[in-house]
Amino acid sequence: MMIIRPIRANDYPALYQMAVESGHGFTSLPVNEELLMRKISRSEASFTKATNTPGDEGYLFVLEDTSTGQVCGTSALEAAVGLDDAFYHYHLGKVVHSSRSLGVYKTVDILTLCNDYTGVSELCTLFLRPQFRQKHNGRLLSKMRFLFLAEFAARFSDKIIAELRGVSDAQGNSPFWQWLQEHFFSVDFPTADYLTGIGQKEFIAELMPKYPIYVSLLSPVAQQVIGKVHEQTRPALALLESEGFSCRGYVDIFDAGPTVEARTSHIRTIRESQRLQVELGTVGAAAEPYLISNTSLTGFRASWAMLAPTANSNHITLPTALANALDLRAGDWVRISKI
């Protein structure tokens, strides 16, 4: 059975291996032992912290195959970004150049460096190992975070964002960054991406152009990738869009990948989730696939299962094996939503 749970210190070897497998452009999983250990420690502290407001908490989850004990993937939630380190984006906007006397009116796209998302919550660090990309594993790893958000809403902002990986080649070269590198930096994309991942962001403030960049001045290939996702990221974008996320013109400062956002209350899985009380027994024949989680913070567990909730009932029947895997007993509460 596939179960989501909070990460533990002894998951470090698996997390490191996933950092290696994730490749270039995956900023939140740098191949750095000290940083990865800090991520685990910070997550453990966040799950035990008593708070009712979003702050510098980061919740890191793993997907475990309970039959083997193998860690198959990871995903995370940041309670509030940019409170300690500046959180940069480019915003794609427009300026108008016009002259009535000359009969000239021209609209020009510009990219402006900003910190507009400071304080919002973030979906991040989603990685599923290739050999486990089957059945509902990807949806479970991504969407179970919405059940956690619904259950512990006071710990998060009312706006959620997700940064999506932009276009880069197999060697980690970004067409967008290549233009910036040529004109403003002497650092290649993998290096800049890695430095950001380990928290060394000073070079951004020091070297990034302070004034808006006219998109028409970029190379044609750089212009073409603004707001576009990496080929491997298309399924993640489609999933988020189906949940109600959309892009408001914000893109990553390195690879120009889009950032999507949604109000927490507008996210489909959260909006349609139900909180029900557990009964143990046999699930009916009309069962459908559902996400399901317990309601514990430190002992959070989530999975997907074939369930048959009854309309207008506040009870749900679970098989004993599923209840045990989620650390549930009869009378406990769960949160469910269609997968």
Q: DSSP of 28-83, one letter per residue? A: TS-S-HHHHHHHHHHHHHHHH---SS--S-EEEEEEEETTTTEEEEEEEEESSTTS
Q: Is the pLDDT of residue 266 over 80?
A: yes
In a shared domain, residues 263 and 290: no
Q: Is the pLDDT of residue 25 over 60?
A: no
What confidence tier does 321 reach under pLDDT thresholds 50, 70, 90?
Answer: very high
Q: Is the pLDDT of residue 228 over 80?
A: yes
In a shared domain, residues 145 and 288: no
Q: By percentage, how much of the chain surpasses pLDDT 90? A: 72
In a shared domain, residues 16 and 26: yes
* Count of structural domains, the chain: 2
In a shared domain, residues 172 and 279: no
pLDDT of residue 22: 83
Residue 90 to residue 101: CA distance in whole angstroms: 34
Residue 335 to residue 331: CA distance in whole angstroms: 13
Tokens describing residue 145: 């975070």
In a shared domain, residues 265 and 285: no
In a shared domain, residues 282 and 192: no
Coil, strand or helix at 302: strand
Residue 33 to residue 190: CA distance in whole angstroms: 18
What confidence tier does 179 reach under pLDDT thresholds 50, 70, 90?
Answer: confident
Question: Quick one: DSSP state of residue 253?
Answer: T
The answer to which of 7-16, 18-27, 48-57, 122-131 has the lowest mean pLDDT is: 18-27
Average pLDDT over the chain reads 91
Single-letter amino acid, residue 314: N
- Region 194-200 average pLDDT: 62
- Region 90-104 average pLDDT: 91
- Region 277-297 average pLDDT: 94
pTM above 0.85, yes or no: yes
What confidence tier does 199 reach under pLDDT thresholds 50, 70, 90?
Answer: low
Task: Please give the biggest Cα pair distance in the chain.
Answer: 80
Coil, strand or helix at 283: coil
What confidence tier does 193 reach under pLDDT thresholds 50, 70, 90?
Answer: low
What end-to-end distance do the CA atoms of the chain give, in Å?
16
- Region 112-135 average pLDDT: 93
In a shared domain, residues 123 and 53: yes
What confidence tier does 41 reach under pLDDT thresholds 50, 70, 90?
Answer: very high
In a shared domain, residues 11 and 71: yes
Annotated catalytic, 136? no
pLDDT of residue 233: 87
pLDDT of residue 63: 98
In a shared domain, residues 264 and 300: no
- Region 158-181 average pLDDT: 87
In this predicted model, which residue has the larger pLDDT, 253 or 112? 112
Where is mean pLDDT largest: 20-29, 201-210, 292-301? Answer: 292-301
- Region 127-154 average pLDDT: 94
Range of the domain at 320: 270-338
What confidence tier does 284 reach under pLDDT thresholds 50, 70, 90?
Answer: confident
In a domain, 87, yes or no: no
In a shared domain, residues 64 and 153: yes
In a shared domain, residues 265 and 318: no
- Region 15-37 average pLDDT: 84
Choose, from 89, 136, 183, 230, the residue flagged as catalytic.
Answer: 230
